[in-house]
Structure 1
Amino acid sequence: MGFLFWLATSVMLMTWIIQITSFPTKVNLRIEKSGVVCLRGSLDYEYVPPNEGLLQFETNLASSYPENTPASLRGEAVRSALRSGQCIGWKLDETPLKFGVVGVNGDGCLSFLNNKLTQTFSASGLVDSLGSFYQACLLNGKGRLVDRLSVAITSVDSGYMLTSPGHAGESLFRKLDPYIFPLDQVELIDSTSSSCIFDLVSTNIDDVRTVFNEQILPRIDLKNNNCFQLPSARQCTMIPLQGGVDPSLLIVPSTSVNSCAAVGYTFCFLNDHEKIGTHVWDFLISDGNTKGPVQIGALEFESLRIESGSVGFEREMLANQKDSFLAPPTPLELHLDYTINMEKGCYLGQEGIASVVKNPRGPPRMLYQVVFDDDFNVYDYQSAGDRSIVENLTRVPRAGDKVFVLGSNAEIEVGVLTSVAEPGSTGEPVTVGLALVRRADSIIKKMKAKNLEINRRIEVDTPMEGGSGMIPPPALDPLDGLEVIIGGGSAVGSLRGVPSRRFRNGRNMFDNIPDFVNQLSQEQDGEFLMANRNSDGTRFQPDAPAAKTAFLPTEDGAANLGDDEDDLKTLQKTAAKARKEAAAAADEARRKAEKMDSLQKRAEEAMARRKEKVRVETAAESTNEDEADSEAKRKAEKMELLKKRAEEAVGRRAQKNQGGG
């Protein structure tokens, strides 16, 4: 028995020695760009890190920048262009985010649109080249959102529907064509293949108008030299062009991102687009055009869309998908109330919208933004394969991930991620996503049961030692600031209200607004805005002169903020605007006070008239009572007299009868 044990041990030992001697005496680790680690020597092998296939951000969207350009540099370039007043533009025709254009022609054009979409359409705003413009929703039978459409009414019998990026015109045509009957007198035409569509945007609409007037208009031939004007918010412009088969240019005052991020126009060249629209776009983005817009690709556009809180087709708008990773939302869950005429009746999906409106608890979910701090979350692909680092199992968030309340042991589900931008693509070390979040009251109730609360992080976002020193009011959204964690991972983020709810009254999320102005605006609006930096990006210091001046600085106080003349002029304009707004507020308060005095005076006069009426009615009732008493007395006296006369007559008759006897 001992001999057999000795023999087995010897064989195992010899095998181990042979394996050891076959390795090189020195082994070096080599980390590939792909995240794969190899041993450098006579024998190489691949180390397969955890979560293979989920390490890095994956996308099929192309960038307009050179390959391997870091996302942070691309994001900063785009946002710097917006902050500087330079236009940016995108043309997504050759990408998965291609637009669609479907024409609606015939006498029944308006009737058809009214029966299928959520807005009320009319031809009341048609003047020369100007038409009416609407943003409306196409719903399924249950009221779930298929797409948000830009609808341009160019005449009483003609209009166009522009889809969201990624929704093909052919797909929209197939959805709506079965609803057409011969008596509808309407025809749908998919014009996508003969169209060229691009967007030009900026933080100031005048920048886009300048590019149009100086660079686009000289390169198109107007038919009959027609005069026209660029459309306002609820208008569209149809410009007939020369050459080819009835070409025209449709301009609508809308882009695919929320106005809090950028404003501008969508230019749709219909028919002969290769000769006109593509030619114009190629000139705008050419290297020789130094004043042209900055071109961004589909990848940069998608990051801008998510950062601005704008909904995407088959991302947040899911009713087109047969097998979606979550129940498709209604427009009310995506903050698209403005696309629905609540007083309108009889349109596709109306019953579903009505059921949500009637629910006293409101929509079952709401759209939030989720921000992941990349400095805090070290993702797997940043350390994968390095054996000196313990893998943290923190992967990049992706659409479809569930998020839970941090500290709840994944027992309190918050919602589901619907879109995730490329990490760092905002120019900051963060990963931004969008999520459909469950009702706040239900989540807060479960958190209280576990002694959890929302950390608003006021000490970080609005430090008392810097900025204006003001404590902000509560956030508009009850779950703003809630810390969440990705299900099955370790990435931690926080919920924020979408920018369209945090930046209102024309304020832009990329504007360099001084801290005290932002704080004043949020106090007036009752909003919670994360603004704690100067216009140059630095925080106010406690010993800075600005912290010791009045809330609205004078010219001397503004000069203390810096010697830069442009900054001084900006601050002076801002202060003048604030003074103007304060004066307007004072006038409004005075007007309201005068109105209250007038209402009080009218109320007193009405009360006096009421008292007089009561007095007259009381006097009349008293008079009526006296007259009634007099009448009753007169009747009683008359009855007594009649009774007396009757008794006398009876007596005389009795005497007469006795005398006759």
Structure 2
Amino acid sequence: MNQELQETQNDAEALQAAQSGVALYDRTPWGRLELTGGDRLRFIHNQSTNTFNQRQPGEVCETVFVNNTARTLDLATVYITDESVLILVSPNRRETLFQLLDRYIFPADKVELRDRTSETACFSLIGDNSQQLLQNLGLTEDIPPGQHRRVTLNTLPNAPEIRLAAGNGLKLPGYTLLCDADQAASLRAALYEKGATPLGERVWQRLRIQQGRPAPDAELTDDYNPLEAGLWDYISFDKGCYIGQETIARLNTYQGVKQQLWGLHLPEPVEPGTPIELNDKKVGTLTSIIPSEDGYIGLGYIRTKAGGAGLSVKLGATEATVIDPPFLSRGYLCPPNP
């Protein structure tokens, strides 16, 4: 069996596991930035779109980092602990966000920033059987959505402590596990032994496009803001000032979101960057595309006035149907499709 066929079969197995079993995605290449000090919650509250001042240890939430003009840098997951704030960021935004945060730490701030990526590891379980796998591993504690816990793996040598969180970055059942780097190999092996199927980057991209999770350098760029990117659920509109706040508040108040991110179902491939057309007029741009069982699925920005789910559009000579992926959220309704 040649390597390409083997990889294709492995991808199919991983996708099936994520949908009806349990798959393991190694997120160790993602960045992990840590804030410590007495002002850590106030600091991240002022640097991103979600609210943090009243967060308690054990909470986990998503937040968006934007620049001064509210252009989207990254969607990050934040874990509040007793001593720190741990921020899980996209691999290609690790340096950018470290520099951004470091720039806004002033001498009077009781905040210290540290890049802990090389010292730690991160894994996400995806699929309906994720909880059963953890129970088979000896982790029987029920962790509700929006929460994480420090737990001990007594079934592994030296009984390592890990951080276990509900959620995996997608609107799919699962968990995320964070551990020290020297425990990564044994934890990964134990998860595989208990039945997790390896899930690689190609299948992650398939799932995140299918789900509608926007990614840096594709949907999250200097061309788009987080309201256009469908990240309304991770934005507080009444928390006060933060970087980019004035622009985001104005867009919300005056319903100024002129384009929105949607899913697309296509019968054949086209290149990212291809214009999306309606009635021979450009109404948007394709940002991501990947094969599926019945054609291709993609993501793209479409002008709000053009419509949304159910709309038939063209990308070059290819006709496509607009769909509404589960990950995306919207603040106000699009006009009915023509």
TM-score interval, smaller chain: 0.7 to 0.9
Residues 162/350 of structure 1: CA separation in 2 closer, same or farther (3 Å cut): same
Is the partner of 2:266 in helix, strand or coil? strand
2:270 maps to 1:397: yes
Q: Which runs of 5+ in 1 are unaligned?
A: 1-64, 218-227, 320-326, 375-395, 444-477, 503-661
> Could you report, residue by residue, the CA deviation over 1:470-498 in whole angstroms, capped at 9, with x for unpaired residues?
xxxxxxxx4323222224xx232221222
Q: Give the structure-1-normalised TM-score.
A: 0.46
Which residue of structure 2 aligns with residue 450 of structure 1?
none
Which residue of structure 2 aligns with residue 256 of structure 1?
169
- Picking from 13, 17, 25, the partner of 1:81 is 17
Which residue of structure 2 aligns with residue 602 of structure 1?
none
Residues 124/350 of structure 1: CA separation in 2 closer, same or farther (3 Å cut): closer
- Picking from 290, 301, 304, the partner of 1:439 is 304
Percent identity among equivalent residues? 26
Name the larger-Rg structure: 1
Residues 233/66 of structure 1: CA separation in 2 closer, same or farther (3 Å cut): farther
1:212 CA drift (Å): 1.6
Q: Give the structure-2-normalised TM-score.
A: 0.87
2:289 maps to 1:420: yes
Which residue of structure 2 aligns with residue 115 of structure 1?
46
In the alignment, the residues of structure 2 paired with residue 124 and residue 371 of structure 1 have an alpha-carbon distance, to the nearest angstrom, of 39
The 5 A counterparts of 1:236-255 are: 236-239=148-151, 248-255=161-168
> Could you report, residue by residue, the CA deviation over 1:51-99 in whole angstroms, capped at 9, with x for unpaired residues?
xxxxxxxxxxxxxx97222887556534432443x11111144xxxx31
2:145 maps to 1:233: yes
**Residue type of the alignment partner of 1:495:** V
In the alignment, the residues of structure 1 paired with residue 102 and residue 246 of structure 2 have an alpha-carbon distance, to the nearest angstrom, of 22
In the alignment, the residues of structure 2 paired with residue 283 and residue 294 of structure 1 have an alpha-carbon distance, to the nearest angstrom, of 12
The 5 A counterparts of 1:521-560 are: none
2:294 maps to 1:429: yes
**Residue type of the alignment partner of 1:353:** I
The 5 A counterparts of 1:273-292 are: 273-274=181-182, 276-285=183-192, 289=193, 291-292=194-195
1:364 CA drift (Å): 1.1
**Residue type of the alignment partner of 2:137:** Q
- Picking from 94, 97, 106, the partner of 1:169 is 94
2:197 maps to 1:294: yes
Q: Indicate if the aligned counterparts of 1:199 and 1:255 stay in contact, CA closer than 8 A.
A: yes
Q: Indicate if the aligned counterparts of 2:74 and 2:216 stay in contact, CA closer than 8 A.
A: yes
Q: Indicate if the aligned counterparts of 1:196 and 1:278 stay in contact, CA closer than 8 A.
A: no
Q: Indicate if the aligned counterparts of 2:168 and 2:176 stay in contact, CA closer than 8 A.
A: yes
Which residue of structure 1 aligns with residue 26 of structure 2?
91
In the alignment, the residues of structure 1 paired with residue 312 and residue 46 of structure 2 have an alpha-carbon distance, to the nearest angstrom, of 43
1:358 CA drift (Å): 1.9
Number of residues of Structure 1 aligned to a counterpart in Structure 2: 325
Q: Which runs of 5+ in 2 are unaligned?
A: 330-338
**Residue type of the alignment partner of 1:277:** A
In the alignment, the residues of structure 1 paired with residue 55 and residue 309 of structure 2 have an alpha-carbon distance, to the nearest angstrom, of 42
1:316 CA drift (Å): 0.9
Which residue of structure 2 aligns with residue 209 of structure 1?
131
In the alignment, the residues of structure 2 paired with residue 99 and residue 305 of structure 1 have an alpha-carbon distance, to the nearest angstrom, of 15
1:256 CA drift (Å): 2.5
The 5 A counterparts of 1:125-140 are: 125-126=56-57, 131-140=58-67
Q: Indicate if the aligned counterparts of 2:15 and 2:199 stay in contact, CA closer than 8 A.
A: no
Q: Indicate if the aligned counterparts of 1:372 and 1:430 stay in contact, CA closer than 8 A.
A: yes
In the alignment, the residues of structure 1 paired with residue 266 and residue 153 of structure 2 have an alpha-carbon distance, to the nearest angstrom, of 49
In the alignment, the residues of structure 1 paired with residue 35 and residue 321 of structure 2 have an alpha-carbon distance, to the nearest angstrom, of 44
Which residue of structure 2 aligns with residue 311 of structure 1?
214
- Structure possessing the higher relative contact order (Cα contacts under 8 Å, 6 or more residues apart): 2
> Could you report, residue by residue, the CA deviation over 1:391-439 in whole angstroms, capped at 9, with x for unpaired residues?
xxxxx3122111212xx3xx41021111111x2xx3x131111001112
Q: Indicate if the aligned counterparts of 2:27 and 2:124 stay in contact, CA closer than 8 A.
A: no
2:235 maps to 1:330: no
Q: Indicate if the aligned counterparts of 2:259 and 2:301 stay in contact, CA closer than 8 A.
A: yes
Q: Indicate if the aligned counterparts of 2:64 and 2:72 stay in contact, CA closer than 8 A.
A: yes
1:248 CA drift (Å): 4.6
The structure whose residues are more often strand, as a share, is 2
The 5 A counterparts of 1:133-148 are: 133-148=60-75
Which residue of structure 2 aligns with residue 620 of structure 1?
none
In the alignment, the residues of structure 1 paired with residue 231 and residue 2 of structure 2 have an alpha-carbon distance, to the nearest angstrom, of 36
The structure whose residues are more often helix, as a share, is 1
Which residue of structure 1 aligns with residue 247 of structure 2?
352
Is the partner of 2:313 in helix, strand or coil? strand
Q: Indicate if the aligned counterparts of 2:213 and 2:328 stay in contact, CA closer than 8 A.
A: no
> Could you report, residue by residue, the CA deviation over 1:587-616 in whole angstroms, capped at 9, with x for unpaired residues?
xxxxxxxxxxxxxxxxxxxxxxxxxxxxxx
Residues 338/501 of structure 1: CA separation in 2 closer, same or farther (3 Å cut): closer
Residues 251/314 of structure 1: CA separation in 2 closer, same or farther (3 Å cut): farther
2:136 maps to 1:193: no
In the alignment, the residues of structure 2 paired with residue 215 and residue 125 of structure 1 have an alpha-carbon distance, to the nearest angstrom, of 28
1:154 CA drift (Å): 0.4
- Picking from 260, 264, 268, the partner of 1:366 is 260
In the alignment, the residues of structure 2 paired with residue 438 and residue 70 of structure 1 have an alpha-carbon distance, to the nearest angstrom, of 41
Which residue of structure 1 aligns with residue 314 of structure 2?
485
1:232 CA drift (Å): 1.6
